[in-house]
Every structure is written in C-alpha cells, then in structure tokens.
Amino acid sequence: MYEGEGSSAINTKDYNALGKICERFDTIIEQTNLIIFDLNLEDEELYVSDNFLKLTGIEYNKKDILKQMLDLKYIHPGDVSKYKGYLRRGKQGLPSDTITYRRRIPRGRYAWIRSNRKNFYDDNGKLIRVLGTAQDVSTEMEAHIEAIVKTDLDALTNLPNFKKFTSDAELIIQKNRDKNYAVLVFDIDKFRIINDLFGAHEGDGVLRYIANILRNLIVRPNIFCRMYADTFAILMSYNKDSEFGYIASTFSEEALKYPLEHEIGLSFGVCKVDDPKTAVATYCDRASLAKKSVKGNVLHLLSFYDDTLRKRSIEDKDIENEMNYALEHGEFEMYLQPQVSIASTDVVGAEALVRWIHPTKGIISPERFIPLFENNGFIVKLDYLIWEKAFATIRSWIDEGYPVVPISVNVSRIHLYNSNLLERFIMLAEKYNVPRKYIELELTETAFFNNARELNYLVHSLKKEGFILAMDDFGSGYSSLNMLKDIPVDVIKIDRGFLNEIVATEKGKTVIRYTIAMAKKLNIDVVAEGVESFVQAEFLYHAGCETVQGYYYSKPLPVNKFEQYAFH
C-alpha cells in the first residue's frame, strides 16, 4: 500500500473487483484442472495452486515439492531424456517452453502431463523466476495415440502400416497390369538379441534407422511399410532379377553403418506377382517364406519363392510338428565319428553328431533338420540332449575301463546369448564326474567372426574351467588366420570344403602347409575334416597334420559300433 491519507483502507469497490478476479481464477482452475506454479529462485519462494496435491500426490511442503518435481524416478523411462532437456533449456535463455510427458502419480499409474512455463531472467541472463501451468492431458493423449493406431501410419517408424500397404499395393497392381511387380519382404537378423543386449530403446532406434533407409532408397511409384516387429515389405516394379540383388546389397551396406557394437544383418525374400487377383498379403507370406530359407546363411542375402520352396515349407511344417514328440520318445540318437591319428590309425577322439531315427521315415539326415532347428530355436533342446549323452558316454567308458578319448560337441551360435551356458557344462561335468579335458566344445568360425564381443568373455571362462575349445569349419570364413592370435582356442578343424578346394592346386597345398605350421607355432592342434581318400590323408600327414576325420576312415557310428571300432 502507498503511504498517505487513506492508505490504511481499501474501498469496497476494489474489494469487489479483487473478489471477482479470484472467482474467475478459481473457476478456471476448477474447470480445466489447471495447476498454477510460480517459483522465485532469488528468494526461493514457491506457490502452487490447491489442486497440486490431487494430481501429483506431493504434500504441500516447499522442500518436498521441489525435490519430487525434479526427481527422475517419477518420470516415465521413455520420457526421461525429454524431461532432462526441458529442465536444461530453462538455463539457456528461452523465454518460454512447453513439454508433454508421462509422470507417475498416486496408485502407481502414469499420467500424461502438459506443462507450459514462462522464464524470467536478470540482466546477466540468470534464470530468476519460473511461472507456469501444468495439466493432466491423459484423455487427450490416449485418444491421440488410439487415433494414430487406427490411421494408416505405424506409430514407431511413421511408415505406412501393413493395412495401408496392402490396400495401396493392390490398387497399383490392378491399375498397372502391363508392368512386372514383386513383393520383397525383409527383416533384421537376431533382432531379439539386439533388444536383449542393448535394450528396447536401442532396438527402436534400429527400426527407425531402417525406416529412414526405406525412405531414402525406395522412390515412387514403389511403396513400402513396416509389416510388424522388425519385418518390412516393399512393392516394386522391375525389369530384371538383378534389381532385387541390388536392393538387398544396398540395404545391407546401409544397415551396417548403424552405430552399434553388433552387426546389423538383413535377410530378404522375394515373391513375384503372377496373378493380379491374388491378395498382396498372400504374396507377403510367400516372400516371408523365401526369406526364412536364407536365415543364418552368411553367403546369401536373398531368396525367391518357388514351388520347390512351397513343398519344402510343407515338409518343414511336418518336421516341426513332430520334433517335440521325437525328443520325448528318444528318436534323436548320438552318433560318433572317429578322429584318427594318421600315423598309427588309432582313434584319438570323436565328434558327437545327431541322427533322427524316425519310426516310419528311417534315418533323417541332419542337413534336413539342423538348419530348421537353428532358426526356430529347437536346437537348444537338441544340443542339451547330445551334450548330456556325451558326458554320460564318457562316464560309461571310464566305468568300463576303456581307453577314454575326448568327445567334441557342437555349440550352436544361439547358445552364445545364453548366460547359463558355462554353468550348464560345469553342472554336467560334476553330475557325471567327468574330467573336463575329455569334452571339446566346437564353435564355428563364423560364430567367432560375427560375435567377437559376446564370445570373448565366454571363451576365456570356458578355458579357465578346463574345457577344450575348438574352432569348427576353419577356412569357411574371412579372417581365420588373423583371428587365431586373438582367440584362445586349443584346436582348429579344417573345413572339408576348404580342404577339397585347396589341395587341388600347388598354391592351395602351400596355403594348407602354412596354416598347419602357423597353428603349431601357436600351440594349436589341427584336425582335418572330410578326409575321403588316401591321397588327402597322405598329403595332410606330410603337411604336418596329425589327426583327421572323414569317411575314408569311418562314417559316424552308433555308440556301440564306435566302441567296437575304437576299443576292440
């Protein structure tokens, strides 16, 4: 109040005017559920409207209000980064700012909060006061999200969704019957592992990155969409098949540029449109089927749908329908292929292999079901079975007084992401009281090459526990010789394909000799696989390789026949 005559009183008219302003203020707050806050940073004065507690659950205590308003544990994990930026921007001279975010409120649920603020600064640019409002806009935001889901766009990537894609694609095909069209479907290899290792946030980032590749590389009139999860589809016109290969290789090169300590690989399937009346969704299913046929194949990115693939898919379905029954009823048996000393022809080891003894179909080749099981994850259960049989067999040899030889077991790439792998081998060794030197663990060269980060800790842990480690299919990859100095393997197994190609020429023979000599200098044993002739065995012996396995010596045998071959 001003000093002077009449300063001790406010006339009735002023009181009435002030009362009306307060009524309007209270009515706005009540009807809009609007929170008013005013923070004076110079004297630490804080004002919040009476409805603050109802929305936030924070008691009216200046210290608690400030602490809890700034505490990130109340912010939805997906909005923490955004909220930090909102707080940071207040110190950057912005006159006003707005944020919509999710905050945990009483009863543990999250509410969408929209906050608007006006910032006041002193002459030196220091923030001295924040005046603003906050409002629960959950109903509005939930309606907005629901509307997005119901529209034509995928909420995460902002690409057309599958429903929009199929609708547009069918119109394009119908209107352009003179053109050749195909549906190309692709997905991200091991995407679940990316989520597990790096978190869903990073997985979402990969999906958005792939979406941007689509926007940059696919031009009208071709169209694309996110079908679901990590699967995308393209409708494209074409003149020749090489165009599909170009798309696949270009996309794969771009995907590899994503900044992640894990290789982003893609697999593609193509189905050509041969009947405009067939639903586009059907072509997508067929392209997806083709895509599955290249999963796990490092040499091929792309596959085309054809009748052979259709028939094979029916057979695959039959196998998948029977696999669990077969496991439960003992149809999978362990066979052992002898590993032989070239000099003495004595059996010095064995590789455990699986055979499916079907009651009506006879022996089903592992080449027919192993790739399928690796794709659908059933290989984990099958490997567990063979590992246990290997330990049990060694235990029986010890009990029978046989001259025990090591058994090597295959460790599929899918196990590399199993945190209990080391514990499982330790458990089996203790269960059967088997010295660990009798178990050799085989990992493929491509597993070492593509999963170096994941393998490093695992390999050293297994070595520390006394297990023998082997690099299988040596020579089938790209950086074999360079990797040997970095990975603590005990054995390399020369791939049969590498052996067959190399020994055909003098230069190739030199490569084999050099590889064996280098391995020996690194104290790594060498086993040559796929030896099928005396000529191969003789060459390997003179090249310095002491141990071989292959049909020249013996095919894989049931355990009882292996024992007769090796010990009698």
d(CA 169, CA 180): 13
Give yes or no: 529 in active site: yes
Here the tokens at position 10 are: 């406010």
d(CA 508, CA 542): 15
Residue 80 near residue 72, CB atoms below 8 Å: yes
d(CA 226, CA 210): 10
Residue 234 near residue 218, CB atoms below 8 Å: yes
d(CA 475, CA 493): 9
The distance from CA 369 to its chain's CA centroid, rounded to whole angstroms, is 23
Closest CA to 424 of 466, 468, 388, 394: 388
Considering the candidates 254, 351, 445, 529, report the single residue annotated as catalytic: 529
Here the tokens at position 293 are: 């046929």
| Cis bond before residue 403 (omega within 30° of 0) | no
3-state secondary structure string, 40-78? Answer: ECCCCEEEECCCHHHHHCCCCCHHHHHHHHHCHHHECHH
Q: What is the number of alpha carbons within 13 Å of residue 390 lying toward its C-beta?
A: 31
Q: Interior CA angle at 23 toward 18 and 26, to 5°? A: 125
List, by residue number, the catalytic residues.
529
